[in-house]
Amino acid sequence: MQIITEPEQMQAIAEKLRLNRQFIGVVMTMGALHEGHLSLIKLAQQTAGTTILTIFVNPSQFGINEDLHQYPRPFEQDVALARAAEVDYLFAPEAKSIYPENHQTTLECGPLGKRFEGERRPGHFNGVATIVTKLFHITKPHIAIFGEKDAQQLAVIRQLVKDLNLDIKIISAPIIREENGLAVSSRNIYLSSQERSAAAILYKGICHAAQRVGQQEKNLLAIAAEVEQMILSTPGCSPDYVIFINEETFELADTAEEGKEYRLLLAAYSGKVRLIDNGKIPA
Ligand code: PAF
């Protein structure tokens, strides 16, 4: 595995790979690699001949009161995991080579990037869209794998690829869960063991919602309220938002229509740790 830190060098390698008819798959991460990331790498390797992993804690997607400076950066451990996973290239730039002093141009998401998570974290998806686009231009992939765990991020990236006519296929990967149902995330390391057990309520909420829709309950607002109540009744937990969206439009859904697909989106705190999760629920 070759480690590259300079965008120009990565671009030159990617260009050469393309000239040699290599099919490139990229997995973008902020490091602190876990099972979820490893599943994305595996998926990339199943489709692409060459896999590029990027590790970059992107400052422009963090709000001023968020955890940019505390965000875990176990780089040596990440390198070992990437090597063991047989990644071909690891692109791990420093912030100053991605955002040099006179960097001025950023992307602005439309309404999709401003609701739900975007409303709670203003500017977050603009930062994601900007870095993802930059990394697309640097790694020149044919395919890119993103996890369903960040469902709205995935929707924003699909929209970005469509809006900007990028010739890249976006492949989504299912959420990887711990034994108790908690979705695997780099931020789980902030949880105490008590908070970790309590956080299983998010997945229980998704299962409850799926069951209620399966029982032909059409009132999605009422189901979301039940899930919110489940979270509120769990010691140490509090909901931020629990909503259903229409899977096709990523807009708020209040009533289930037979044959349509919905997704329950949850954001909740276990202790001080903010967690997000989601599950696809067909009606
Ligand atoms: O999902 C993430 O880890 C990040 O948002 C991404 C896509 C790597 C962009 O920084």
Check pocket membership of 150 for ligand 1, CB cut-off 6 A: yes
Q: 57 lies in a domain?
A: yes
What local confidence, expressed as pLDDT, does residue 181 receive?
Answer: 98
Q: Which atom of ligand 1 is nearest to the CA of 29?
A: 8
pLDDT class for 149, splitting at 50, 70, 90?
A: very high
Q: Mean pLDDT over residues 262-267, rounded?
A: 98
Nearest Cα residue to atom 6 of ligand 1: 29
Query: Ligand 1 centroid to 63 CA: how many Å?
Result: 14
Q: Are 165 and 72 found together in one domain?
A: yes
Q: Are 273 and 243 found together in one domain?
A: yes
The chain-wide mean pLDDT, for the chain, equals 98
**pLDDT tens digits for 204-246?**
999 999 999 999 999 999 999 999 999 999 999 999 999 999 9
Model confidence, pTM: 0.97
Q: 260 lies in a domain?
A: yes
- Domains in the chain, number: 2
Q: Are 201 and 227 found together in one domain?
A: yes
Nearest Cα residue to atom 8 of ligand 1: 29
Q: Mean pLDDT over residues 198-202, rounded?
A: 98
Of 126, 149, 173, the residue at which a domain comes to its end is 173
**pLDDT tens digits for 53-68?**
999 999 999 999 898 9
Q: Are 140 and 205 found together in one domain?
A: no
Q: Are 143 and 195 found together in one domain?
A: no
Q: 164 lies in a domain?
A: yes
What local confidence, expressed as pLDDT, does residue 281 receive?
Answer: 98
Nearest Cα residue to atom 5 of ligand 1: 128
* Domain span at 131: 2-173
Query: Ligand 1 centroid to 30 CA: how many Å?
Result: 6
Check pocket membership of 117 for ligand 1, CB cut-off 6 A: no
CATH of the domain at 254: 3.30.1300.10
What local confidence, expressed as pLDDT, does residue 47 receive?
Answer: 95
Q: Are 110 and 224 found together in one domain?
A: no
Give percent above pLDDT 70 in the chain. Answer: 100
Check pocket membership of 27 for ligand 1, CB cut-off 6 A: no
Q: Are 132 and 203 found together in one domain?
A: no
Q: How far apart are CA 270 and CA 134, in angstroms?
A: 34
The catalytic site residues sit at 37
CATH of the domain at 104: 3.40.50.620
3-state per-residue secondary structure call for the chain:
CEEECCHHHHHHHHHHHHHCCCCEEEEEECCCCCHHHHHHHHHHHHHCCEEEEEECCCHHHCCCCCCCCCCCCCHHHHHHHHHHCCCCEEECCCHHHHCCCCCCCCCCCCHHHCCCHHHHCCCHHHHHHHHHHHHHHHHCCCEEEEECCCHHHHHHHHHHHHHCCCCCEEEEECCCECCCCCECCHHHHHCCHHHHHHCCHHHHHHHHHHHHHHCCCCEHHHHHHHHHHHHHCCCCEEEEEEEEEECCCCCECCECCCCCEEEEEEEEEECCEEEEEEEEEEC
Of 173, 194, 226, the residue at which a domain comes to its end is 173
Q: 180 lies in a domain?
A: no
Q: Which atom of ligand 1 is nearest to the CA of 157?
A: 7
Q: Give the type of residue at 156.
A: V
What local confidence, expressed as pLDDT, does residue 216 receive?
Answer: 96
Query: Ligand 1 centroid to 280 CA: how many Å?
Result: 21
pLDDT class for 257, splitting at 50, 70, 90?
A: very high
Contact by Cβ (8 Å): 231, 201 = yes
Q: Are 137 and 194 found together in one domain?
A: no
pLDDT class for 25, splitting at 50, 70, 90?
A: very high
pLDDT class for 99, splitting at 50, 70, 90?
A: very high
Of 118, 146, 173, the residue at which a domain comes to its end is 173
Query: Ligand 1 centroid to 55 CA: how many Å?
Result: 9
Q: 252 lies in a domain?
A: yes
Q: Mean pLDDT over residues 90-117, rounded?
A: 98
Q: 114 lies in a domain?
A: yes
**pLDDT tens digits for 106-123?**
999 999 999 999 999 999
What local confidence, expressed as pLDDT, does residue 250 receive?
Answer: 97
Q: Mean pLDDT over residues 166-185, rounded?
A: 98
What local confidence, expressed as pLDDT, does residue 175 receive?
Answer: 98
Mutation choice for ligand 1 from 38, 58, 136, CB with most ligand atoms inside 8 A: 58
Q: Mean pLDDT over residues 156-183, rounded?
A: 98
What local confidence, expressed as pLDDT, does residue 8 receive?
Answer: 98
Provide the 10 A C-beta neighbour count for residue 193: 7
Query: Ligand 1 centroid to 237 CA: how many Å?
Result: 26
Q: Are 150 and 211 found together in one domain?
A: no
Q: Are 146 and 91 found together in one domain?
A: yes
Q: Are 93 and 67 found together in one domain?
A: yes
